Structure formats: C-alpha cells, structure tokens
C-alpha cells in the first residue's frame, strides 16, 4: 500500500477507539486498498512474562477457512513410511539421505518439517540449520508424531502453529481480504479460542491485553475484547 492509499485508509480509523469485531472486519474490508489479495492479520499483546519459560504461549490451529497460502511440507520418516507420507500430501519425503543432502548444501526449500519420533536423533545433525529458521520438528507443535498420515493431512488443510515472540506478542494470519466477513469472523474466533485455551496458569491479570487487526500493509484497528 502506497503512502497515499495508507493515509486514505488511516483517515477512516480512530486509533483511540476500540471497535467491535464486526466493525473492525467491515473497516478492514472497506479500507484495504492493496492491489493484491491482502492478508488479514491479528496481533495480540499478552499478559505474560516472555522471559519465564512456564509462561510461553504456544498452540496449533486449523482455521475453518483457507488463508490461501499453501506451504511446502518436508517429512522425515523411515523408508517404510515414505509412500504413506507422499500419499498423504508431503512435498518432500526422505530419511538419512535427505538429512545428508541438507547438511551438505545447507539449503532449505520447505516451510514445515515433520518427523517420526525415531527420526529425531538423526535430525540432530541439521538442528543448527533448521533451528534458527523455526523448522525443527517439535512435539509441542505436533510436528513430531508417529501418526504421519494424519499430521500431514491436517497441515495440508492449513494447520499452523502460533507462539509468542520475545516481547510477549502473538502474530497470526487469519485470512485474506477476499474472504467474506462471516468467514473472517469464524477464523478470528477459532484463533482467539485457541490462544485462550493455552493461557499459562502462572499468568495473572488481563491475558489478552491488546488485540489489533490489520491488512498486510494497512493501519491497525483495535478490537475490544
């Protein structure tokens, strides 16, 4: 969005006001001036101490309506499970040879990595490559599992992981401007419900301190929760 289009969109929004969710979605769709199918994002300031490990907020969701972004999935599995992984929809499938290839080249051409538990010790060889990119399979994000077929099928449907950043915020893509308002509302509510479900027991006071929605390059709209 250019400076001029951003300024035009900004004029329609009162930054001091908290809008109802329906009002916010109407504003988003009416003020999105991007020349492409912009993403709709939710940004939440959480009432947690991100320095405390026990207050880490992490979870998974499958949004009911597609965000229109297909991700490339790599499955690290034993040879006898390779066909099952491919049939389920994994884009890249392999075991030791795939690990060796990544270790040698340092190149990654996938968005999500999934693995069976027995493959995890072998993946340690490329942990320094996958880790910094947030691609190391993890039981908490359900990307380490013996149920490869089910896991891949869910990922293909749009299952995604969310977690707080170092400042206690969560950022999540929940749709595209092309979705109708009802679909965006459903996706938003599924996401908020998932965040509430994983509230740390040690988190005190207001949990969802600030909730803002915006289009990819548009101004933020505060949502009253």
Model confidence pLDDT, tens digit, residues 73-107 = 999 999 999 999 999 999 999 999 999 999 999 99
To which CATH superfamily is domain 73-156 assigned?
A: Ribosomal protein L1/L10, domain II (3.40.50.790)
Domain with CATH 3.40.50.790 in the chain: 73-156
Distance from C-alpha of 145 to C-alpha of 168, rounded to nearest angstrom: 28
What is the model's pLDDT at position 125? 95
CATH topology of domain 14-67+160-222: Ribulose 1,5 Bisphosphate Carboxylase/Oxygenase (3.30.190)
Please write the tens of the pLDDT for every residue from 174-202.
Answer: 999 899 999 999 999 999 999 999 999 99
Mean pLDDT score, 209-223: 90
The predicted pLDDT at position 1 comes to 47
Task: Determine the longest span between alpha carbons in the chain, in angstroms.
Answer: 59
Tell me: the pLDDT tens digits for 98-157?
999 999 999 999 999 999 999 999 999 999 999 999 899 998 888 999 999 999 998 888
Residue 142's region, left for phi above 0, alpha for psi from -120 to 50, else beta, is left
CA distance linking residue 82 with residue 7, whole number of Å: 52
Element housing 155 (H / E)? helix 148-156
Q: Environment class of residue 121 by beta-carbon count within 10 Å: exposed (0-12), middle (13-18) or buried (19+)? A: exposed
pLDDT at position 222 over 90 = yes
Residues of the chain with CATH 3.30.190.20: 14-67+160-222
CA distance 98 to 169: 35
């Amino acid at each position: 969005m250019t400076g001029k289009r951003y300024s035009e969109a900004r004029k329609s929004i009162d930054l001091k006001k908290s809008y109802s969710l329906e009002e916010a979605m109407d504003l988003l769709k009416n003020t999105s001036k991007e020349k492409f199918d912009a993403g709709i994002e939710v940004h939440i300031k959480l009432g947690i101490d991100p320095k405390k490990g026990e207050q880490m907020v992490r979870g998974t969701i499958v949004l009911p309506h597609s965000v229109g972004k297909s991700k490339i999935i790599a499955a690290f599995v034993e040879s006898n499970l390779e066909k099952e992984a491919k049939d389920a929809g994994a884009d890249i499938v392999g075991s030791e040879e795939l690990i060796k290839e990544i270790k040698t080249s340092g190149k990654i051409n996938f968005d999500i990595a999934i693995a069976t538990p027995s493959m995890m010790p072998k993946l340690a060889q490329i942990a320094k490559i996958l880790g910094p990119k947030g691609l190391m399979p993890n039981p908490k994000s359900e990307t380490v599992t013996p149920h490869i077929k089910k896991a891949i099928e869910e990922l293909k449907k749009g299952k995604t992981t969310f977690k707080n950043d170092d400042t206690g915020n969560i950022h999540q893509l929940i749709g595209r401007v092309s979705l109708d308002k009802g679909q965006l509302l459903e996706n938003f509510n599924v996401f908020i419900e998932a965040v509430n479900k994983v509230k740390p027991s040690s988190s005190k006071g207001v949990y969802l301190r600030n909730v803002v929605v915006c289009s990819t390059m548009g101004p933020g709209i505060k949502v009253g929760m």
